Amino acid sequence: MHRQTYTSRPAWILLLLGWVFALGACSSDMTVGNFMVSPSGKMVYTDTCTVHLTTQIVDSLVTTNTGIVYCGTYDDPYLGTTSAVGYTCFNLTTFASSSPISTGVTYPVIFDSLILSLQPARRFYGDTLQDMTIHIHQLKELIEDNEDIYGYCYNTSSIPYEETPVVSYTFRPHPRRTKPVEIRLPDAMGEDLLEKIRNSADEMTTTEKFRRYFKGFALVPDENDHAVLGYHAVDTMFFMQLYYHTIMEYRTDYTITFPIHPGYQFNQYQFDRTGTPTEGLVDSETDLFSYTTGHKAFVQGLSGMYSKIEFPYLNDIEKTGKLSAIVNAELRLYPAREAASDETPLPSRITLYISDEENPVIAEGETVTGTLVKDQYERNTHYAIGISSFIAEELGAIGVYKRHLQLVLPDTSLYRIVLGDHKYPDVQNQAQLNIQYMVYDPHE
């Protein structure tokens, strides 16, 4: 049976009268868009909340098995000199059963060359329009013998290597291309490898024995470099290639590949901040307040340098009424215009971690993200970060219950950011916290 539902006329009239009454009672300062609010509530907007920025740094970062090898040096007026050394080692390949190496033939096997092939990862920072030099040094010790008890090496780790490089290679970088950088290694090194393989030397019987014979390389930058470049640390993109041929009735060419061992690859970073605004940042116990550095804060991925963001007077909002409810909150962080250039581009997105004094570990737990909003005239370029939920939860928090934000770049990131705080001299580049909130007083 089909059933119809009716609304009684008295109920409908009461709803209409209630809506008319509410419409007539609302004043013009109690609207948000087209939505009406309670006559005892007010919608308030503020962009004058104090934003404190403090630069801090972690003592060390794990750089083992990051999937990328960095090498290079660049100078920055704010962060000083950054140098990256990449440490690598290689696996023993499985030789094809049909190759002359394995069949035991007696005809001549002639060495051609030994090449180190590096494929750019399109990660670079600094001036790539000038020549760069990579110095290839042989390691004196195994990488794994220098790991900690957890099997890691860090950005502060290093391994002894031979003082004289086996080769120094100067080239003009093309970091946006994927064409490999090919570096010819000494013929004597390649001939020794080939001879040991042909003679089934003990060093060539297992990967472990091979690696104790051939411990790996340190890719060391030249002090005159002006950029840092990254290369893929995967076996198909970072390897040594040994070329040889045989001649019987005709010439036949062969290759043997020694791929990188990504599990034992790591990067070492060195920083010299002498004479820069960040010179005083020496360890994780140091707080570099923005008012001591020209009202600037600094973030750098490779060094673990990050910015702590606090809103110390947020609870003053509650002084404007009996109850407050956050409707919307957006944090705007403005990169200092004079610090940005083609050599120091800005990341398109950033991540902010939510932390507190009881749990100061960065890069863990809750996060919010920010997007770079570009201005074609570069006057209003900023990161916009929606933090409505964070601000709502922080409202009323005191003491150990207060939390803050940490702007952290990935530890494999070459980017750095210089931010203006809420008193930065250029008023258009000052950090802002924009809040819309409802003030409600039941006694009005």
**Between 20 and 191, the higher pLDDT residue:** 191
Q: Which residue has the higher pLDDT, 103 or 86?
A: 86
Q: How many domains does the chain have?
A: 2
**Mean pLDDT to the nearest integer, 381-398:** 92
CATH assignment of the domain containing 426: 2.60.120
Please tell me the least confidently modeled range out of 165-174, 231-240, 296-305, 433-442: 433-442
Note the pLDDT tens digit of each residue in 245-281.
988 778 889 899 999 998 899 999 999 999 999 999 9
* pLDDT band of 85, cuts 50, 70, 90: very high
pLDDT at residue 13 in the model: 34
Q: What is the mean pLDDT of the chain?
A: 84
Asked if the model's pLDDT at residue 360 lies above 60, the reply is: no
pLDDT score at 442: 58
Same domain, 208 and 326: no
| Structural domain includes residue 7 | no
Label residue 319 by pLDDT band (50, 70, 90).
Answer: confident
Range of 216's domain?
68-272
Residue 63 domain-assigned?
no
Count CA atoms within 13 Å of residue 339 on its CB side. Answer: 23
Q: Write down which residue in 272, 291, 311 finishes a domain.
A: 272
Q: Identify whether 19 is part of a domain.
A: no
Q: Is position 88 within any domain?
A: yes
* CA 98-100-102 angle, 5° bins: 65
Higher per-residue confidence, 398 vs 37: 398
Residue 209 pLDDT exceeds 60: yes
Q: Please state the three-class secondary structure of the chain as a single string.
A: CCCCCCCCHHHHHHHHHHHHHHHHHCCCCCEECCEECCCCEEEEEECCCCCEEEEEECCCCECCCCCEEEEEEEEECCCEEEEEEEEECECCCCCCCCCHHHHCCCCCEEEEEEEEEECEEEEEEECCCCCEEEEEEEECCCCHHHCCCCCCCECCCCCCECCCCCEEEEECCCCCCCCCEEEECCHHHHHHHHHHHHCCCHHHCCHHHHHHHCCCEEEEECCCCCEEEEEECCCCCEEEEEEEEEECCCEEEEEEEEEECHHHCEEEEEEECCCCCCCCCCCCCCCEEHHHCCCEEEEECCCCEEEEEECCCHHHHHHHCCEEEEEEEEEEECECHHHCCCCCCCCCEEEEEEEECCECCCCCCCEEEEEEECCCCCCCCEEEEECHHHHHHHCCCCHHHCEEEEEECCCCCCCEEEEECCCCCCHHHCCEEEEEEEEECCCC
Same domain, yes or no: 128 and 234: yes
**232 pLDDT more than 90:** yes
- Do 51 and 74 belong to one domain? no
The reported pLDDT for the residue numbered 94 is 65
> Using 50, 70 and 90 to split pLDDT, how confident is the model at 25?
very low
Determine the pLDDT at residue 365. 63
Query: Residue 395: which pLDDT band, with cuts at 50, 70 and 90?
Result: confident
- Residues 222 and 162 reside in one and the same domain: yes
Based on the fold, state whether residues 41 and 78 are members of the same structural domain. Answer: no
Q: Which of 95-109, 194-208, 224-238, 372-386 has the highest mean pLDDT?
A: 224-238
Percent of the chain topping pLDDT 90: 53
pLDDT of residue 101: 65
Question: Among 33-42, 209-218, 222-231, where is mean pLDDT lowest?
Answer: 33-42
Tell which of 240, 272, 304 closes a domain: 272
pLDDT at 324 (0 to 100): 74
Give the per-residue pLDDT at 8.
Answer: 36
pLDDT at 32 over 50: no
Query: Would residue 2 count as lying in a domain?
Result: no
User: Distance between CA atoms of 426 and 443, rounded to whole angstroms?
Assistant: 43
For residue 13, which phi and psi values (nearest 5 degrees)?
-65, -40
Q: Is residue 10 part of a domain?
A: no
Q: Is residue 4 part of a domain?
A: no
The arithmetic mean of pLDDT across residues 139-158, rounded, is: 91
